[in-house]
Amino acid sequence: MPIKSRIRTIPDYPKKGIMFRDITTLLKDPVGFRLVIDQMTQHYLEHGMDFDVIVGMEARGFIIGGALSYTLGKGFVPIRKPGKLPGDVVGQEYQLEYGTDKVEMHTDAVVQGSRVLLVDDLLATGGTALAGAAHVEKVGGIISEMAFIVNLPDIGGQKKIESKGYNVFCLAEFEGE
Positions touching Mg ion (CB under 5 A) are 60
Catalytic-role residue among 6, 21, 58, 60: 60
Please spell the DSSP secondary structure of 16-48, one letter per residue: TT-EEEETHHHHSSHHHHHHHHHHHHHHHHHH-
97, 115, 137, 173: which is the annotated catalytic residue? 97
CB of 124 to ligand PRP, least distance (A): 3
For Cα atoms 145, 55, 135, give the angle at the middle one, nearest 5 degrees.
90
Among 69, 114, 128, 144, which residue sits at the site for ligand PRP (rule: CB under 6 A)? 128
97: annotated active-site residue = yes
Question: Rule CB under 6 A: is residue 104 a binding residue for ligand PRP?
Answer: no
- Residue 60 among the catalytic residues: yes
| Of 5, 29, 36, 45, the residue nearest 149 (C-alpha) | 36
Q: Which does 104 bind (CB under 5 to 8 A by kind): Mg ion, ligand PRP, none?
A: none
Specify the DSSP class assigned to residue 3: T
10 binds ligand PRP (CB under 6 A): no
Residues 173, 150: contact at Cβ < 8 Å? yes
Q: Which of residues 16-35 bind ligand PRP (CB under 6 A)?
A: none
Catalytic residues: 60, 97
